Amino acid sequence: MSRIRVLFGLAALLMAVGLWLALNAPPDALQGEYSRLINIHVPSLWLAFLAFGVTALGSMMWLIRKRPRWDRLAAASVEVGVLFTGIGLVTGMIWGHAVWGIAWDWGDPRLASTAVMFFVYLGYMALRGAIDDPVTRARRSAILGVVAFVQVPLVYFSVNLFRTLHPTQSVRPDGSTMPDEMLIAMLVNVVAFTVLYIALMAARIDVAIAEEGADSEQALAGDAVKPPKISEVEDV
């Protein structure tokens, strides 16, 4: 069995345990069943922060070492990070609509900064898609990967720095504001999502390596695989 299949199997098992714990934890006295959404919302955004941190690291390492593997790592992590930011935004909107009575408020610093982060990293993906030369693509996206990370701590601490609709962190160095059963369920889901991140990263890097191999084979084949121009085709 391949390494990626083992990782996906482990992630699925942990997610099943996490889901079971999430559905069996007691509901919050005020929010009722909606409080269970913390088990997807928090792990998704934790993963997004982790993924963009890995992108910044990969980008910085590419700028120093110029090795393709760092560029692959950064590009893979952005894709996974954008997926989980999207999930965090969707679950947040569903939760906000149910509990605050409003799905979105651009005046809220946490919501607005998360949306900006989402669009900046979508822009990173668009930038990569727009450049054909691999070295230019790696250099430009590495610069963006480092610069874009500046906003990540700002998103995380926005609930502490500004007055927002969004609550502050439930788990802090001095303890947690959650009952033990809810906390355990959320932490198991954080671990499960982290293993899922590793599995998705391994799969995404595998795809990148395979595509680079296919591209170089095509480049080596040169003109032999190019279709003839219309002007070169003789009339029959």
Partner 1 sequence: MSETVVVAGAFVISYGLIVTYAVYLDIRRRKTT
Q: How many residues are there in the chain?
A: 236
- Minimum distance from residue 94 beta carbon to partner 1 (Å): 5
Question: Closest approach of Cβ 6 to partner 1, in Å?
Answer: 14
C-beta of 93 vs 115, nearer to partner 1 = 93
Q: 152-173 burial, b for 16+ CB within 10 Å, e for fewer?
A: beebbebbeeeebebeeeeeee
Map tokens 């692959």 to a residue.
Answer: 72
Site for partner 1 in 19-38 (CB under 8 A): 19, 32-34, 36-37
Find the distance separating the first CA and the last CA of the chain, reported in whole Å: 53
What one-character-per-residue DSSP string does 118-167 give? HHHHHHHHHHHHH--SHHHHHHHHHHHHHHHTTHHHHHHHHHHHS--SS-
The residue among 26 and 153 lying less far from partner 1, judged by its C-beta, is: 26
* Cα 105–chain centre separation: 23
Least separation in angstroms between residue 167's CB and partner 1 is 18
- Render 96-126 in DSSP notation, one character per residue: HHHHTS-S--TT-HHHHHHHHHHHHHHHHHH
Q: Which of residues 166-225 bind partner 1 (CB under 8 A)?
A: 196, 200, 203-204, 206-207, 210-211, 213-214
**Contact call for residue 75 and partner 1 (CB under 8 A):** no
Nearer to partner 1, 63 or 94 (CB): 94
Q: Site for partner 1 (CB under 8 A): which residue of 40, 178, 185, 186?
A: 40
Nearest to 62 by CA among 149, 146, 157: 146
In the block, which residue shows the tokens 């799905």?
103
User: CB-wise, 146 or 178, nearer to partner 1?
Assistant: 178
Stretch 41-70 residues interacting with partner 1 (CB under 8 A):
44
Binding site for partner 1 (CB under 8 A): 8, 15, 19, 32-34, 36-37, 40, 44, 80, 83, 86-87, 90-91, 94-95, 98, 196, 200, 203-204, 206-207, 210-211, 213-214
